[in-house]
Structure 1
Amino acid sequence: MIAAPCRLPFPLSTFWYGAALDQNAISYIFRLMRLIQRFCDTRGEEQSKCFSKDGHFHSSSTAMGRRGHEPLPSDETAQAPPTSQLQEPDRGQWTGKFDFLMSMIAYAVGLGNVWRFPYLCFKNGGGSFLVVYAIFFALAAVPIFIMEVTIGQYLQRGAMEMWRMCPIFKGVGIGNVVIAFMCIAYFCVIVSWAIFYMISSFATVFPWETCDNYWNDHTCVTGKESSAALAKHTRNLSSMGLMTQTSVEQFWENRVLQQTSSIEEFGGIQWELLAIMFLSWLIVYFALWKGITQARKFVYFCALFPYFLLIVLLIRGLTLEGAGKGIYFYLAPNITRLADTTVWKDAGTQVFYSYGVGFGALIALGSHNKFNHNCFRDAFIMCFINGATSILAGFVVFSILGYMSVVAHKDIADIVKPGVGLAFLAYPEVASNLPAKQVWSCLFFLMITILGLDSQVCMMEGLFTALEDAFPFILRKHKKVSLAVTCMIFFIIGIPMVTNAGAYWLQLLDNYGASGYALLFVVFFEVIGLSWGFGAERIRAALKEMVGINLSYAWVIIWKFAAPATSAILFFFCLIYYHPLKYPTGEDYPVWANVFGFFLSSCSMIVIPGYALFYLLFQNKHLTFRELLDTLLLTTRQTPLLLPIQTNRPSNMGN
């Protein structure tokens, strides 16, 4: 049986913008019928949907699972404009059974799992940190992760356009885009560092092993010389440490970064990093130019190959002398640290950072699913894979650091360095002491490169999908050109971060613009908008309609109360325990740099109340207060194309 075509006695604008019904709009029916039919099947599920004259959603259960509609009579179709002029260009769907899962792995499993999680776990009491991490995992990471994926699949829209179902929160979508923009701007710079080290690893003698290079000065000591001094208990060791730098540190600062002494001294451009960054952006472009749904081989490779490398490195690390010592330091519980608020702050922010919520990428990836794809299963699996990857990376890193502590006669606490230092300072020194060092160094930095590139590609997809949905006839229709222009813009933005002061600017952008309280602020309002504006009950019902899963009502409670409360508490923790950025020497960044950092944070935060105010004062200025309140509370009834679920929907509308 073929489904009957939808008949709507009012114009398309009534669907999209929630305008009042136009009683004289019958004449629009035949002219817009083909476009309406296109929207009637927009969810990806082959089913027929109609709206009655009262504006309520109806569907025929006999039409479920069937594609297409009856052809229009010839006298009606004769007046219809060509379909190509009315339909949006195809946004693409995942074709393989595991494409979506692999894309989430490629996105969410990234650099933060490899260097940030192990360091924070060690810094905050090992096993105690894991306990706190597990709490935030259950209260925030899993619920918000599943919420973003579900809403993306259900509405088939990116981070900005999905808020047409509740327009007052559209600023959240803009905030998602701003945060993604800032993160994308510097990610390829980190990738360029990793590629630089990977290329340097092919040398017979690593360039960071010796002090006879042109970038070394009289303060340089090799790792072996430093270890020998420690072993002999050299007098005035503390003063020696202040007056010297290891060859690894000088390679990082004087060769790779060619770093100035402060953010105020730009210096020149590091041309090698600029060329590598350009190459990185070419890879990102060619991975996306036909759409991420067509880049299956790239997605699968980037999702799976890092696990092969991690397992190889883990096997090698566990066979090294001192591996047990390193793992003990990694996991040894310190129960007293549970009372330390810093532990809770670090664990909470790491959860949000490592799971990639709030960037809009998960919404975009979910929007490419077919309507009845089991996104709940994939998202749930992905949440545990992400956590397990972080723990696995910790075993890899600390088994190797345990070996280094034995060789260098140092405590592990003196070897571990925060942030990028763990990857670009500690590991090169470790690699210098491994048998077949070129192989292990190349594998490690290849893994860092792949983890950075796959996260970059998926974040770029999230950003570009949001922009495409806003301007489909321009960006999606001319995807290759618009994507090339976008990549070139980001490449130009990244140029200051490959100058001699680039690392300082990258840290500023990362600390203020793409993480911390800016991300938590946006996530808080995203959860509020989805769980209260859209409705947590509707999300639960959406999963039942798409997948047939009848979730416990406990999920509604978590979405409406636990997840937003967790986000709010962490946001205030970040404000209360704020510390200005510091140079590696321990000195504070200049005041103007921290002020500029707050400006970067405000870019993603201010758009949320700003757009809400704009919507209230200008978009609906013709409405009375009561009508405006009704518009805000019942917005979803006025945008049925983006909200198939209605409270008065018949009970036979599918499972």
Structure 2
Amino acid sequence: MVLDPSSPVGDGTVKMVEKPTGEPERETWGKKIEFLLAVVGFAVDLGNVWRFPYICYRNGGGAFLIPYLIMLIFGGLPLFYMELALGQFQRCGCLTLWNRICPMFKGIGLAICIISTYVSWYYNTIIAWSVYIFFSSMRSRVPWLDCGHSWNTNSCYSFNTEHSNMNNTSIAIDWSNTSHQSPAEEFFELEVLGLDNANGIGDVGGIKWSLTICLSGVFVIVYFAMWKGVKSSGKAVWITATMPYVVLIILLIRGCTLPGSWGGIKYYLSPDFSLLASHEIWVEAAAQIFFSLGPGFGVLLALSSYNKFTNNCYKDALVTSCINCCTSFIAGFAVFSVLGHMAYNQEKEVKDVAREDVGLIFYRLSGSYRIIIREGSTFWALLFFFMLITLGLDTTFGGLEAICTGILDEWPWLRKRRELFVLGLMAYCFLGALATTTYGGIYVVQLLDNYGAPVAIIFVVFLEAAAVSWIYGIERFSKDIESMIGHKPGIFWRFCWGVVSPVFLLTLFILSVVFPQTPKYGSYVYPPWSLNLGWVIVCSSLFFIPAYMVYKFIITPGNPLERLRAMTIPEEVPKHAQEVIPVYL
């Protein structure tokens, strides 16, 4: 249905008329479990075993859990529920949705597509690293067990009480010497990345073709999982969403049996309350919640739009968000038990055994897991990195599906050529990701990880919450939910949507702009021009929000006040809606 042009703007009501689109009936998930697995698979990602532990480590272990839980209850969970309900009721993607909520905010959908593109440029490269290491582990002895390989330097030493350098000379190690590097660290930086051929983000060197081949393999898998829509991706998630839990539980049990593991777990659970006075820990907690649960990325809108109309999205929101956050919490035990063991071996404090960057999950954990696995190193390495691959694939399915659903719903004629459209999208994202497969690609990854999504997504989710709650109306939104599940949301949800979540989000966005986080990798210091480039990346997605408002204002007829009023009135209602609720200006 669309706005009837014969209805005078400003008379207090809007009359809706049927829109003769001739669109085919929207496909739905084959089984309810496929939807749940897709949502869990998207939400439970590398961020749970990479980003969450590394942010915990950077913020004093258990101290981070307090703002994390607060942001979950008052920010992440209500918005997670909101997006599932919006997608299921409106049955469309992140672009068309705003025609039915508040047309002036359609730029939010464009911003979401840009943000998802940036994430695809570096996130799939992280999966490619795992693919590279996975295949490198297919030998009788994994290559990061010891030194003596072609990529090792004279600074290479293993974790044993006595260690061997390239010349196999037995020596005792003084771990206070920061020049020492583990075999895993050198394997990751020198063999996987080829970092010795780059001189920072200003000179990243050429493309490392072995990584490029791995990246192309990732995109091929993603393509064949997505080319038929939810019919194909719904089958893929049976493996990609369940396998990581099997591996994670096994690694958790083994990690907790290691000598010194309790020291790491104690560090993980012991909060330093003085850190709570820092704005940084709150900003990072919010960013982690939104990055993990995924409100604002358009994925929840896309996935839930293929649900049946009467599906209980409220129960889905509670179950899937709790599974996601519990997974992060459990993964923390697995990671910190290993860090505790590393600290025990090196006679260090837990806070001193690992660096605070993206390499934590790769060379620190792969290096320490070789202590865990001893004789079965190859099998366990393959299992561990297969877990990382499946974790990453689920999330990239969701992120790219958000773009696909948004564009295909906005231009339905493209659905007849979905296979070609998805192929074009994969090619575009692959070309954009090539910069991250250079020898210095990890510097690009850190830059994109810092600026591509976290800051912009907080503002996007703020505008989304504000538009739904303050313009579309909480009461109307609650009636939409009632029509699907039989009852309205409770006062807690309505209060969070209307007051708590928008205020929190706006405050966090202001803090993240006034006190920005700078990217880091080891001791490398990013030059000022690269930080300016980072803010250009942030603004490049947010730019579409005011730009579309201006465009909409120009093309809307009437005087300025009439235009502004018309821009806040839904232009469409979903064709499955049983009745149209009057819209009061």
Whether the TM-score (by the shorter chain) exceeds 0.5 is yes
Partners in 1 of 2:353 and 2:136 — Cα distance?
Answer: 22
The question of 1:19 aligning with 2:25 is answered no
Partners in 2 of 1:406 and 1:290 — Cα distance?
Answer: 50
1:204-283 aligned at under 5 Å gives the runs 204-224=140-160, 238=176, 240-242=177-179, 244-259=180-195, 260-283=198-221
Structure 2 match to 1:601: 538
1:590-643 per-position Cα deviation (integer Å, ceiling 9, x unaligned): 222222211111111111111112211x121x302342243144x13x534477
Q: Is the 8 A contact 2:3 2:15 kept in 1?
A: no
Structure 1: 5+ residue runs without aligned partners? 1-14, 23-52, 59-84, 650-655
Letter in 2 for 1:19: P
Deviates more, 1:120-129 or 1:395-404: 120-129
Letter in 1 for 2:549: A
The question of 1:511 aligning with 2:450 is answered yes
The question of 1:142 aligning with 2:77 is answered yes
Q: Is the 8 A contact 2:38 2:237 kept in 1?
A: yes
What is the deviation of 1:576? Answer: 2.3
Q: Is the 8 A contact 2:240 2:394 kept in 1?
A: yes
Among 541, 549, 559, the alignment partner of 2:487 is 549
Could you say what secondary structure the match of 2:2 adopts? helix
**How many pairs are equivalent?**
568
Structure 2 match to 1:540: 478
What is the deviation of 1:532? Answer: 1.7
Report the identity percentage. Answer: 34
Structure 2 match to 1:99: 34
Partners in 2 of 1:178 and 1:91 — Cα distance?
Answer: 25
Partners in 2 of 1:532 and 1:290 — Cα distance?
Answer: 37
Letter in 2 for 1:625: P
RMSD, aligned CA: 2.5
Letter in 1 for 2:572: T
Partners in 2 of 1:483 and 1:156 — Cα distance?
Answer: 20
Structure 2 match to 1:10: none
Structure 1 match to 2:120: 184
Partners in 1 of 2:120 and 2:4 — Cα distance?
Answer: 35
Could you say what secondary structure the match of 1:417 adopts? coil
Q: Is the 8 A contact 2:68 2:285 kept in 1?
A: yes
What is the deviation of 1:91? Answer: 4.0
Change (3 A) 1:493 1:525: same
Q: Is the 8 A contact 1:145 1:355 kept in 2?
A: yes
Change (3 A) 1:644 1:575: farther
Q: Is the 8 A contact 1:147 1:539 kept in 2?
A: no
Q: Is the 8 A contact 1:266 1:501 kept in 2?
A: yes
Structure 2 match to 1:65: none
1:274-319 per-position Cα deviation (integer Å, ceiling 9, x unaligned): 1111111110011011112443331122111111111111111122
Structure 1 match to 2:461: 523
Structure 1 match to 2:417: 478
Partners in 1 of 2:324 and 2:173 — Cα distance?
Answer: 45
What is the deviation of 1:156? Answer: 0.7
Structure 2 match to 1:492: 431
1:17-96 aligned at under 5 Å gives the runs 17-20=3-6, 55=15, 87-96=22-31
1:80-136 per-position Cα deviation (integer Å, ceiling 9, x unaligned): xxxxx9522454211212222111001111011112212322332433322221111
Partners in 1 of 2:153 and 2:16 — Cα distance?
Answer: 76
Change (3 A) 1:18 1:124: farther
The question of 1:385 aligning with 2:385 is answered no
Letter in 2 for 1:204: S
Partners in 2 of 1:520 and 1:227 — Cα distance?
Answer: 47
Partners in 1 of 2:431 and 2:17 — Cα distance?
Answer: 48
Letter in 2 for 1:460: L
Structure 2 match to 1:5: none
What is the deviation of 1:350? Answer: 1.2
Letter in 1 for 2:194: Q
1:290-301 aligned at under 5 Å gives the runs 290-301=228-239
Partners in 1 of 2:173 and 2:41 — Cα distance?
Answer: 48
Could you say what secondary structure the match of 1:519 adopts? helix
Could you say what secondary structure the match of 1:507 adopts? helix
Normalised by the length of structure 1, the TM-score is: 0.82
Structure 2 match to 1:439: 379
Among 482, 497, 507, the alignment partner of 1:569 is 507
Partners in 2 of 1:249 and 1:272 — Cα distance?
Answer: 19
What is the deviation of 1:377? Answer: 0.8
Letter in 2 for 1:458: G
The question of 1:453 aligning with 2:453 is answered no
1:495-545 per-position Cα deviation (integer Å, ceiling 9, x unaligned): 121111211112112211122x21111111111112122222222111110
Change (3 A) 1:264 1:205: same
Partners in 2 of 1:112 and 1:556 — Cα distance?
Answer: 29
Partners in 2 of 1:123 and 1:644 — Cα distance?
Answer: 51
Among 198, 201, 206, the alignment partner of 2:134 is 198
State the structure with bigger RCO (CA 8 A, min sep 6), 1 or 2: 2
Structure 2 match to 1:348: 286
Partners in 1 of 2:68 and 2:574 — Cα distance?
Answer: 39
Structure 1 match to 2:50: 115
Structure 1 match to 2:168: none
Letter in 2 for 1:488: A
Letter in 2 for 1:510: D
Deviates more, 1:403-412 or 1:279-288: 403-412
Could you say what secondary structure the match of 2:248 adopts? helix
The question of 1:415 aligning with 2:348 is answered no
Partners in 2 of 1:530 and 1:614 — Cα distance?
Answer: 21
Letter in 2 for 1:205: R
Among 272, 286, 295, the alignment partner of 2:224 is 286
Change (3 A) 1:90 1:264: farther
Change (3 A) 1:168 1:207: same
Q: Is the 8 A contact 1:428 1:441 kept in 2?
A: yes
Letter in 2 for 1:573: L
Deviates more, 1:282-291 or 1:573-582: 573-582
Partners in 1 of 2:478 and 2:235 — Cα distance?
Answer: 33
Partners in 1 of 2:519 and 2:56 — Cα distance?
Answer: 21
Partners in 1 of 2:25 and 2:162 — Cα distance?
Answer: 61
Change (3 A) 1:579 1:364: closer
The question of 1:132 aligning with 2:92 is answered no
Q: Is the 8 A contact 1:179 1:359 kept in 2?
A: yes
Q: Is the 8 A contact 1:119 1:416 kept in 2?
A: no
Q: Is the 8 A contact 1:538 1:645 kept in 2?
A: no
Deviates more, 1:180-189 or 1:155-164: 180-189
Deviates more, 1:284-293 or 1:196-205: 196-205
Change (3 A) 1:269 1:575: same
What is the deviation of 1:194? Answer: 0.6
What is the deviation of 1:382? Answer: 0.9
Letter in 1 for 2:120: I
